[in-house]
Structure 1
């Protein structure tokens, strides 16, 4: 199923031990790039969080944040990291000595990561519940990405229909264009008074028409359109962004050849319109997983 790489999900978990908030942002990226931020007491969850994200998402820049606000019980111990506090104070004193500015705010020091550790007897239980909340958040993110993917699919289908319409117009005009081209050649030869027998003339015209014939390019574009439709209608969850990007490159290449062979302003205009539509699709495909 087509999925966007852009999305946002937030889950707030409230329990007797406090509150945990997961926030996950996702934007387009060529590969999967994961950034995780959480408090020290849950740092050992990072590997499992990273692996779970990798098992559910294939592409995108993922920013995953865990905000934890713990409730405190009387039986829980508050442990101060005295060595860290001394280092912070020494650093602040050194800065104050050299720039002669700033005051020490002890509350800010206590907020420093790793200064305070709450000894919780139920920490394993808390971690299990928080990880379950992560799974739910990832599910919400995927739903957002799928919803946006459906919108992208609609945009791509609209552009493909417009390209097919332009191809149809070119195919209708092509026999007329080739006939007119043949007549122009004959008229020029007649005006230049160059004698050439009819058989030779037909052979030369045939060679020239073969060089400017765009039927093959039109057929290839039609094949690429069919392949694109097949990919975006695939109900499997496998990523398709890279495949679609490759097809856009091929479509663009065939259209460039089409433009170089064009001998008629009508076909040239249609080709330019096709190029514009391909570029519009390519921009949207950059957001597909």
Structure 2
């Protein structure tokens, strides 16, 4: 299986602590680069996130963001330490009684440290839930890359089939080309009213055949087609390998075009170059 470097995944999480949204997106890149946008209280997760990406991905520019909204109800509800408040009131009233004047201010009792308490969220527990949600998001993200990669593999294989068809056409043309070359040489001798020397004719035909022989280029095209299919079948991080192969394909197509001596072969060479360029553009998106 091959993987595209272009993908997106989004996951919303809900808990007693509030809500969170993970988003992961990527585009093609020569190497693996990761960028994070995290709330300050979860900045410590970045190292773990980087390592997780490194274990699952090979290439691509990855942008990962987390939006976090704490549960306002749980964060604003307060609880009272009634035992401490009772002790404070008793002690404060004793002081008032001793002084013979004044009164106990309830607000002052409530302001005393420890009397009113806001529930503290378990940061480790929240982080654990967020990381579990991240793993789910990452799994969906990798699946999206795989689905797009499968589409790219089909696209490339279709172009490989078409290149093979063009190579087969050129092979079919070659006997006709050789016959045309022979007739052309004989016509030249005839027009020049030169006595036909079988050895001379044979030499001319050999020279022309060498200049127009594309068998080697066609064989290499077939070999590249076979190798490209093997690479696609093997899967994994094959983008760089396929990119190199596109250069090899293009080299053979250029040579084929330079040796073309009739419009049919020229058209086949041009079509091959178009197909190769289409593959090369898509290969840039493969991990």
Q: State whether TM-score is above 0.5.
A: yes
Q: What is the rounded CA distance, in whole Å, between the counterparts of 1:227 and 1:208 in structure 2?
A: 32
CA deviation after TM superposition for structure 1 residue 75, in Å: 6.2
Larger Rg, first or second structure (1 or 2): 2
**Which residue does 1:149 correspond to in 2?**
149
- Pairing 1:178-189 to 2, within 5 Å after superposition: 178-189=178-189
Deviation at 1:196, TM superposition (A): 5.9
Q: What is the match of residue 283 of structure 1?
A: 281
Q: CA deviation at 1:175?
A: 1.3
- The match for 1:244 is 242
The 3-state SS of whatever aligns with 2:286 is coil
In the TM superposition, what is the alpha-carbon distance from 1:203 to its structure 2 partner?
2.1
Q: Which moved more, 1:23-32 or 1:202-211?
A: 202-211
Deviations 1:247-267 (A, max 9, x none): 111000100000000011111
Q: Residue 136 of structure 1 aligns with which residue? A: 136
State the number of aligned residues: 246
Work out the CA distance in 2 between the residues paired with 1:280 and 1:153.
13
Secondary structure of the structure 1 residue equivalent to 2:63? strand
Question: Using the alignment, how far apart are the partners of 1:54 and 1:159 within structure 2?
Answer: 32
| Secondary structure in 1 matching 2:285 | coil
Aligned positions of 1:1-289 closer than 5 A? 1-71=1-71, 72-73=74-75, 74=77, 120-195=120-195, 197-234=197-234, 236=235, 238-289=236-287
- String of CA shifts for 1:231-283, please: whole Å, max 9, x gaps: 1122x5x2011111111110001000000000111110111111111111111
d(CA) in 2 for partners of 1:269 and 1:281? 19
Gap change, CA 1:23 and 1:217, over 3 Å in 2: same
Q: Contact 2:185/2:204 (CA < 8 Å) preserved in 1?
A: no
Deviations for 1:58-106, whole angstroms, at most 9, x for unmatched residues? 1111110011111243469xxxxxxxxxxxxxxxxxxxxxxxxxxxxxx
CA shift in 2, pair 1:36/1:227, >3 Å: same
Q: Distance in 2 between matches of 1:75 and 1:220?
A: 77
Q: In 2, Cα distance between the equivalents of 1:125 and 1:12?
A: 17
**Alpha-carbon displacement from aligned partner over 1:100-123 (angstroms, at most 9, x marks no partner):** xxxxxxxxxxxxxxxxxx994510
Cα separation, 1, equivalents of 2:17 and 2:262: 75
Moved more, 23-32 or 245-254: 23-32
What is the alpha-carbon distance in structure 1 between the residues aligned to residue 134 and residue 255 of structure 2? 50
| Structure 1: distance between partners of 2:193 and 2:123 | 99
For 1:206-247, what per-residue CA distance to the aligned partner results, in whole angstroms no more than 9, with x for missing partners? Answer: 12211220000000000000111111122x5x2011111111
Q: CA deviation at 1:154?
A: 1.2
Q: TM-score, structure 2 length as denominator?
A: 0.81
What is the alpha-carbon distance in structure 1 between the residues aligned to residue 248 and residue 280 of structure 2?
11
Question: Structure 1 52/213 Cα, relative in aligned 2: closer, same or farther at 3 Å?
Answer: same
Residue aligned with 1:233, SS:
helix
Q: Deviations over 1:118-152 (max 9, x none)?
A: 99451011111111111111100011111111111
